[in-house]
Amino acid sequence: MKLLPYLTPFIKDAAKAVKRISRTEFKEVVDNTLTELLGISTLFVKMYALRFEGDQEVLHLWCTHREDVALCPRCGALSEKVHQEEPRCVRHLDVWGKKTFLHFLSRRFKCENCGEIFTEELPFVDSHRRQSTAFEMHVYQSCLAGTCKAVAVREGLSHSTVREIFNRLAALKKNGVAALGTTRVLGIDEISLKKRHKQFVLVISDISRKCILAVLPDREKQTLENWIESLSPQMKKSILFVSIDMWTPYYQAARKKLPRAKVVADRFHVMKQLNARLTQQRTRYQRQCDPKLREILKGSRWILVRNRSELTSKQEDQLNQILKSCPDLRTVYLLKEEFRTIFEKVKSREQAARFIDAWILKAERTGDKFLAKFIGTLKNWRDQILNYFIERISNGFVEGTNNALRTIIRTAFGYRNFGNFKLRVLAGFGAFHTNPR
């Protein structure tokens, strides 16, 4: 039986790299170029080696320590007595586009003052780690822009290694932040983690600071109440507004646990419901009208619900033709535009109350069955809708963040583990995501 030639495996474990390369393969460095490219103040590059491992060229750098002393962690004295040395290899950031490994001696010192034997702390790599801190941060930031699996393939690491680096750094960043601080405006909204299974998670945001505070495993009222209850008294006191999408359990939880805060019904969800009634009216026309009118209405859904000021001249012409041909649809459309103008032009809560009450009377006189449903919603949420006009607070940031979260879910082809999803969201959008390590 013919034996296959031995192929050098692709290095995925930096700790094993030191066992696969001999000192005789290194070449002396003639200047400080590699030291400067390395950018580690405590190391000096003495030798280098280039090897093909798999189909990639890998750079190995043999480094020496610039200092011959270390600080004793027990007494704080400087020690020069080296007790033990052993070779160590760690993965570092690419140099010249080549995968780079650092080789150096890991040293243990014996303190001449107190007799303590200790391993020196290195600023560029943590204890027992196989990658430098700079490379781990590179992996972490790459995961924020993609998936752990894609980063693992690109960097030549195992999926478990990348996931461990990401989870550990994300947890360190989260734990390194002090308190959540004060939050004036709380935003509450849900997002579907698995649509087919109707699995919703609750995303709680700080609209003022534009960050996510928490991700809860479901949208149940009790879950939200428990989270609010876990806040400090100072945090609860600082919350002045709670912006929601007219989901009754959110309102009940906010009123019960944050009685001082004003609940604001998000204006875009209010308009969404009114647009839905307009769409129902258009659908009724399309089903009952003659073929000629049906052709006019074809493809008109977004023309009717979009702000009139944003229409092109061609869309404006089609809109005028629709409104001329469909009197009932014209009535609902004009009421929709009038209602939108109230949100955009009115500046005070008292003035808005008068305009909205007058709008309700006008809408009721139409006798439209589709508008009647919206009028009922408007009356039920009147105070919360009017609270928008106090500081014109909306869930715009929350909805924008939810779109970004949906992209994360699609990129990862879904999340089976809620804990992984929560950590990914907080790492990318949490109150700590911009803080340095």
In this structure, what token pair is assigned to residue 407?
């992209």
- pLDDT over 90, % of the chain: 46
How far apart CA 94 and CA 173 sit, in angstroms, is 24
In this structure, what token pair is assigned to residue 121?
């702390």
How far apart CA 67 and CA 315 sit, in angstroms, is 73
Is pLDDT at 2 greater than 80 in this prediction?
Answer: no
Per DSSP, helices labelled H in 258-368 are 267-288, 291-297, 301-305, 313-325, 327-345, 349-366
Average the pLDDT over 260-285 and give the result: 91
Q: Domain map of the chain by residue range?
A: 14-130, 185-266+394-429, 267-391
C-beta of residue 319 within 8 angstroms of C-beta of residue 330 = no
pLDDT in the model for residue 93: 92
How far apart CA 61 and CA 45 sit, in angstroms, is 6
pLDDT in the model for residue 175: 53
Q: Is 192 helix (H, G, I), strand (E, B) or coil?
A: strand
Give the residues across from 89 on adjacent strands. 103
pLDDT in the model for residue 21: 73
In this structure, what token pair is assigned to residue 213?
């505070």
Is pLDDT at 64 greater than 90 in this prediction?
Answer: yes
How far apart CA 153 and CA 186 sit, in angstroms, is 39
Report CA-CA distances (Å) from 230 to 70, 134, 233, 294, 432: 44, 36, 9, 56, 19
How far apart CA 305 and CA 135 sit, in angstroms, is 49
As a residue count, the chain comes to 437
Regarding pTM above 0.95, the answer is: no
In this structure, what token pair is assigned to residue 256?
């019960």
pLDDT in the model for residue 39: 86
Model confidence band, residue 437 (pLDDT cutoffs 50, 70, 90) = very low
Model confidence band, residue 103 (pLDDT cutoffs 50, 70, 90) = very high
DSSP string for residues in 16-39: HHTTS--GGG-EE--SSHHHHHHT
DSSP string for residues in 104-154: EEEEEEE-TTT--EEEPP-TTS-TT-SB-HHHHHHHHHHHHHS-HHHHHHH
Is pLDDT at 306 greater than 50 in this prediction?
Answer: yes
Q: Which helix (H) or strand (E) holds 159?
A: helix 159-176
Average the pLDDT over 270-274 and give the result: 93
Among 168-177, 289-298, 342-351, 382-391, the minimum mean pLDDT is found in 168-177
Is pLDDT at 12 greater than 50 in this prediction?
Answer: no
Is pLDDT at 19 greater than 60 in this prediction?
Answer: no
Q: Could you read off the pLDDT of 107-136 as tens digits, one per residue?
A: 999 998 899 999 999 999 998 899 999 999
pLDDT in the model for residue 428: 80
| Among the listed residues 418, 404, 8, 10, the one whose alpha carbon sits nearest the alpha carbon of residue 189 | 404
pLDDT in the model for residue 178: 41
pLDDT in the model for residue 173: 66
Average the pLDDT over 295-318 and give the result: 85
Q: Which helix (H) or strand (E) holds 17?
A: helix 14-17
Helix axes 369-380, 267-288, angle to 10 degrees: 170
C-beta of residue 191 within 8 angstroms of C-beta of residue 402 = yes
How far apart CA 437 and CA 193 sit, in angstroms, is 29
How far apart CA 112 and CA 377 sit, in angstroms, is 79
Q: What are phi and psi of 365, to 5 degrees?
A: -70, -20
Q: Could you read off the pLDDT of 325-348 as tens digits, one per residue?
A: 888 889 999 999 999 999 999 999
Q: Could you read off the pLDDT of 309-327 as tens digits, one per residue?
A: 888 888 888 888 888 888 8
pLDDT in the model for residue 432: 52
Instruction: Determine the CATH number of domain 185-266+394-429.
Output: 3.30.420.10
* CA 46 to chain centroid: 42
Residue-averaged pLDDT of the chain: 85
pLDDT in the model for residue 284: 84
Place of tokens 């944050």: 258
The burial class, CB within 10 Å (0-12 / 13-18 / 19+), for 404 is exposed
